[in-house]
């Protein structure tokens, strides 16, 4: 397969997955803001999505005050923010258009229709009363795209690169979402374990569709260490890092890799590490530090994939 | 408005020759008569929907970025009797063979110039003449592997060549899709008579491209080179690549190393032997031609000159399809093949000649004037359908640079019944057969019929609101 085509397919899938995860992050933020009665706590909550996506600088270049509508406008609709839902949907469609002959017509039509439907939403609704409906719509479109892809595409390189893009992006996003909690740490020790703490963890679980899964798998109260275990190491949970890396490794293994540049080796290493990791140890040495390490590794793997298969030789 | 009075009706016999339709249209006429108007309307809507869904569209220059338009498809076929087609086929083969001989000659011995048949400056100062092609030996001595020859039928019933397209002629995908559409919408029509098939065109094209490989090789790697998704003919590039089962590449997918051209793939570099390029000469290699081109491949020309990659069509074919070269084609046929031309040329005034210019200036409102390098129906004047102001504005443009123009009598393109808003009405048509030159000359019967949908209009180009019809050669 041409590198350019593989690159477009890889990014098309990443961008759809990113749009979905943005919707998830913004959904949980809108929810958490309701609980932060104190101004300082609210600001922390609003700042978290910017910090974890590393877009805080870009935000404050154009905004003086951090409010929920301003945050939603920037992260959902800002054309200049390359990670905004708007940008993701736009580029997913652009990429699909460029390779519409190498993907199925159903895939192209799904992304094209998504882009056209996006224009039917009104800005004031998205940053206001209709935010939840909008985020649900984004998630639905992403589910639809993944289903259409899985249901129609030939099991060849296009499928491999699409899968690689989806799950690498998802691994990255799950790590970032889990890290939200670090950024909104409660100010006083006595609040930990309190009602607010509980709601924060519950909201976080819901944001990755894992609230029911937690209940089913653990049949227990919500404990931070178990939430972390679920999102990092539980392969039955389809958005966990371990589950994502099962998929990443399998997709990479199927790619004809004469000039791999260490991509497969790194994916294998990360896969093994997640398989044998121990959540107690991770907590002892610091969850935030562990997540930062994960994000670095995922970034490096992305770079190696880019160099080996998608870029110039 | 003094439009041409007479024109040849492809379906109906002239009033004087008794009533009725031409024999080869009888089936279609009966079928049309027997079909209720609702069903016709329904089928036309279905065709529209199918074309939209498949994405057979045409990007139009100057429209909002990326805008895509559907080329209108008319469901009444254009029919050519087999005997007539056989005559055309012979003429096309003759003409394209002579044009290829001419291209080889002007980049080698230049016999035709030495013999005084064509003035040397006509060829050597032509901006499409490529000095870098001098002395280069091409496989089978073929320069134009894919030629689109535009034909019209005059009021006298005879076919005339309107122009030759030897650079990157387009439209063949519509020919193929139109047939597919007709068979899908009206299978009953094909059951009652034998329409010669065209579906094997992509196979013939692949054979032709393989025959162009630089050396004898078992399975040369062929690619289609497109300027990219925003090009007006992108649909066709992608369509042909897919139909032939070869890669559709952009300039950035290719690179030159150690005297060969390679494409970048996820499995590493892969050598490319034949490039069916749908990119103009000037954009092919930024090192040799336009340095600002992102569409080409740096170093491509050096590999081409070393004989390690083939281009289809070759560089520098434009000198042969230029409208100022066109008047010499009948003489080329006589010179190279010692045959009389089977297909007629339209009489043409070359405005670089003072006598021709004077004659044309006196009759401008009656004539058609074209830029010698123009294409797509842009930059032309159709005297009889233009206002006085338009004619005078064009006159000024001609006088500023007469050598840039040729003039022809306003031809009466034949008409074919066509669905329009008011029902069925005659509309002007032309025909573009696609001629493939490899080890020998091949084509599928027929070609692309373009139709001017505006009443009285003679401009059939899709960029100017033209439509298309399925073209049948029937036994």
pLDDT in tens, A206-265: 889 999 999 999 988 888 889 999 999 999 999 999 999 999 999 999 998 777 878 999
At B54 the pLDDT is 61
Of A17, A27, A32, residue with least CA distance to A244: A17
**Average pLDDT in the B419-442 region?**
92
- So what's the pLDDT on residue B4? 45
For residues B386-397, give the mean pLDDT.
91
Q: Do B266 and A312 touch (CB under 8 A)?
A: no
Instruction: Check pLDDT > 60 for residue B315.
Output: yes
Are B107 and B135 within 8 A, CB to CB?
yes
Q: What pLDDT is stored for residue A313 in this prediction? A: 45
Chain A residues near residue B250 by CB distance under 8 angstroms: 4
CA distances from A46 to A32, A54, A172, A174 (A): 9, 13, 20, 18
> Which pLDDT score is estimated for B52?
66
**Shortest distance, CA A257 to any CA of chain B (angstroms):** 6
All structural domains of chain B, each given as residue ranges with its CATH number in brackets, are: 221-272+274-308 (3.40.50.11290), 347-410 (3.30.1490.270)
Q: For residues B436 and B409, is the Cβ–Cβ distance under 8 A? A: no
pLDDT tens digits, residue range A72-91?
Answer: 999 999 999 999 999 999 99
- Closest residue in B to A307 (Cα) is B266
Other C-beta atoms within 10 Å of B418: how many?
Answer: 21
Dihedral sign, CA of B230, B232, B235, B241?
A: negative
Q: What is the pLDDT of residue A109?
A: 87
The more confident residue out of B229 and A291 is: A291
- Does the structure show a pLDDT above 50 at A311? yes
Better-predicted residue by pLDDT, B209 or B267: B209
Q: Do A6 and B248 touch (CB under 8 A)?
A: no
Does any CB of chain A come closer than 8 Å to the CB of residue B258? no
Q: Please give the mean pLDDT across all residues of chain B.
A: 89
Average pLDDT over residues B43-56: 73
Is B55 in Cβ contact with A2 (below 8 Å)? no
Nearest to A2 among B239, B242, B263 (CB): B263
What residue has token string 């590493």?
Answer: B268
* Calpha distance B221→B170 (Å, rounded): 22
Label each residue of B117-179 as H, E or C. CCCHHHHHCCCCCCHHHCCCCCHHHCCCCEEEEEEEECCCCCEEEEEEECCCCCCHHHHHHHH
| Least confident segment among A35-44, A45-54, A303-312, B384-393 | A35-44
> How many CB atoms within 10 Å of residue B255?
19
* B288-308 tens-digit pLDDT: 888 888 889 999 999 999 999
Taking the C-alpha atoms of residue B190 and residue B131, their distance in angstroms, rounded to an integer, is 50
Confidence of residue A33 (pLDDT cuts 50, 70, 90): confident
Cis peptide before A212 (omega within 30 of 0): no
* Residue A157 to chain B, least CA–CA distance (Å): 9
Give the ipTM: 0.79
Q: What is the pLDDT of residue B66?
A: 46
Beta carbons of B268 and A313 less than 8 Å apart: yes
Of B53, B248, B264, the CB nearest to A313: B264
pLDDT tens string B446-472: 999 999 988 888 888 776 778 999 999
Query: Cβ contacts (< 8 Å) between A310 and chain B: which residues?
Result: 266
- Asked if the model's pLDDT at residue A186 lies above 70, the reply is no
Say if residues B389 and B383 touch (Cβ distance below 8 Å).
no
**Which H helix or E strand runs over B236?**
helix B234-244
Q: What percent of chain A has pLDDT over 90?
A: 64
pLDDT of residue B374: 65
Q: Which of residues 266-285 of B touch A (CB under 8 A)?
A: 266-269
pLDDT at A153 over 50: yes
> Mean of the pLDDT values across residues A42-48?
88
Say how many residues make up chain B.
475
pLDDT digits (tens, 9 = 90+) for B36-46: 888 888 888 88
For residue B272, list chain A residues with Cβ-Cβ distance below 8 A.
none
pLDDT band at B17 (very low <50, low <70, confident <90, very high): low
State pLDDT tens for residues B317-342: 999 998 889 999 999 999 999 999 99
In angstroms, what is the C-alpha Rg of chain A?
A: 19
C-alpha to C-alpha distances, B84 to B194, B435, B470, nearest whole angstrom? 16, 17, 17
| Chain B residue numbers touching A256 (CB-CB < 8 A) | 266-267
Tell me the two tokens of residue B106: 């002007």
Q: What is the dihedral of CA A230, A232, A237, A238, to 10 degrees?
A: 160
Please state, rounded to an integer, the average pLDDT across all residues of chain A: 90
Nearest CA in chain B to A104: B54
Question: What pLDDT is stored for residue B59 in this prediction?
Answer: 52
pLDDT in tens, B248-275: 999 999 999 999 999 999 988 999 999 9
pLDDT computed for residue A192 by the predictor? 66
Cα distances from B12 to residues B15, B18, B147, B420, B425, in angstroms, run: 9, 10, 31, 18, 12
Reported as a single tens digit per residue, the pLDDT across B406-416 is 999 988 899 99
**Residues facing B20 on adjacent strands:** none
Q: What is the pLDDT of residue A31?
A: 83
Longest dimension (CA), chain B: 71
Please give the distance of CA B235 from its chain centroid, rounded to a whole number: 16
Decide if B266 and A2 are in contact by the 8 Å CB cutoff.
yes
Residues 6+ away with beta carbon under 8 Å from A278: none
């Amino acid at each position: 397969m041409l590198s350019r085509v593989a690159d477009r397919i890889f990014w098309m899938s990443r961008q759809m997955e990113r749009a979905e995860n943005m919707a998830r992050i913004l959904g949980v933020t809108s929810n958490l803001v309701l609980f932060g009665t104190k101004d300082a706590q609210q600001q922390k909550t609003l700042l978290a999505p910017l910090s974890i996506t590393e877009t805080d600088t870009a935000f404050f270049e154009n905004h003086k005050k951090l409010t929920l509508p301003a945050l939603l406008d920037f992260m959902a609709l800002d054309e200049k923010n390359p990670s905004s839902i708007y940008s993701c949907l736009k580029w997913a469609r652009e990429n699909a258009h460029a390779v519409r002959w190498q993907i199925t017509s159903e895939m192209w039509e799904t992304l094209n229709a998504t882009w056209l439907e996006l224009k039917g939403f009104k800005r004031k609704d998205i940053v206001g009363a209709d935010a939840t409906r909008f985020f649900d719509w984004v998630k639905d479109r992403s589910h639809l795209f993944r289903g259409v892809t899985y249901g129609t595409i030939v099991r060849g390189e296009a499928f491999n690169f699409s899968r690689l893009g989806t799950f690498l992006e998802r691994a990255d996003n799950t790590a970032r979402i889990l890290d939200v909690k670090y950024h909104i740490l409660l100010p006083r020790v006595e609040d930990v374990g309190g009602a607010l703490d509980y709601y924060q963890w519950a909201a976080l679980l819901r944001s990755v569709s894992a609230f029911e899964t937690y209940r089913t798998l653990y049949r227990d109260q919500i404990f931070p260490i178990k939430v972390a275990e679920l999102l990092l190491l539980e392969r039955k949970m389809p958005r966990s890092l371990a589950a994502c890396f099962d998929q990443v490794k399998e997709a990479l293994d199927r790619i004809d890799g004469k000039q791999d540049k260490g991509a497969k080796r790194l994916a294998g290493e990360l896969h093994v590490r997640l398989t044998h990791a121990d959540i107690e140890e991770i907590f002892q040495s610091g969850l935030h530090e562990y997540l930062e390490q994960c994000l670095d590794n995922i970034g490096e793997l992305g770079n190696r994939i880019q160099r080996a298969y998608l870029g110039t030789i | 408005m003094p439009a041409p009075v007479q024109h040849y009706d492809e379906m109906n016999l002239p009033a004087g020759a008794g009533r009725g339709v031409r024999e080869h249209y009888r089936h279609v006429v009966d079928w049309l008569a027997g079909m209720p108007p609702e069903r016709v309307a329904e089928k036309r809507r279905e065709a529209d929907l199918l074309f939209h869904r498949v994405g057979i569209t045409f990007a139009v220059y100057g429209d909002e970025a990326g805008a895509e338009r559907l080329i209108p498809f008319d469901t009444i076929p254009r029919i050519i009797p087999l005997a007539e087609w056989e005559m055309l086929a012979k003429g096309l083969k003759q003409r394209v063979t002579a044009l290829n001989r001419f291209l080889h000659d002007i980049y080698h011995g230049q016999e035709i110039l030495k013999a005084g048949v064509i003035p040397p400056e006509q060829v050597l100062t032509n901006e499409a003449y490529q000095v870098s092609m001098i002395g280069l030996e091409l496989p089978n001595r073929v320069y134009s592997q894919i030629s689109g020859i535009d034909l019209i039928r005059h009021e006298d019933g005879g076919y005339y060549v309107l122009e030759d397209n030897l650079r990157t002629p387009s439209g063949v995908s519509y020919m193929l899709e139109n047939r597919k559409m007709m068979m899908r919408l009206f299978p009953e029509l094909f059951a009652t008579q034998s329409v010669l098939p065209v579906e094997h065109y992509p196979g013939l094209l692949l054979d032709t491209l393989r025959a162009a490989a630089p050396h004898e090789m078992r399975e040369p790697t062929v690619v289609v080179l497109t300027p990219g998704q925003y090009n007006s003919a992108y649909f066709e590039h992608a369509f042909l690549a897919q139909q032939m089962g070869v890669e559709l590449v952009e300039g950035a997918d290719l690179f030159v190393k150690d005297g060969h051209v390679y494409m970048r793939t996820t499995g590493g570099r892969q050598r490319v032997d034949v490039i069916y390029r749908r990119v103009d000469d000037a954009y092919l290699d930024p090192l040799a031609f336009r340095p600002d081109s992102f569409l080409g491949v740096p170093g491509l020309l050096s590999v081409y000159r070393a004989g390690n990659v083939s281009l289809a069509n070759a560089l520098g074919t434009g000198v042969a399809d230029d409208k100022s070269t066109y008047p010499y084609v009948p003489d080329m046929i006589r010179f190279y093949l010692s045959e009389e031309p089977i297909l007629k040329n339209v009489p043409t005034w070359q405005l670089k000649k003072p006598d021709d210019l004077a004659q044309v200036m006196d009759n401008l409102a009656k004539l058609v004037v074209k830029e010698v390098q123009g294409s797509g129906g842009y930059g032309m004047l159709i005297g009889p359908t233009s206002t006085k102001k338009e004619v005078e504005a064009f006159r000024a443009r001609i006088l500023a640079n007469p050598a840039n123009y040729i003039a022809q009598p306003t031809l009466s393109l034949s008409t074919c019944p066509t669905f329009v808003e008011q029902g069925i009405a005659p509309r002007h048509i032309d025909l573009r057969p696609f001629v493939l030159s490899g080890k020998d000359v091949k084509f599928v019967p027929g070609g692309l019929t373009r139709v001017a949908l505006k009443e009285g209009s003679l401009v059939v180009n899709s960029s100017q609101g033209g439509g298309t019809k399925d073209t049948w050669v029937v036994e």
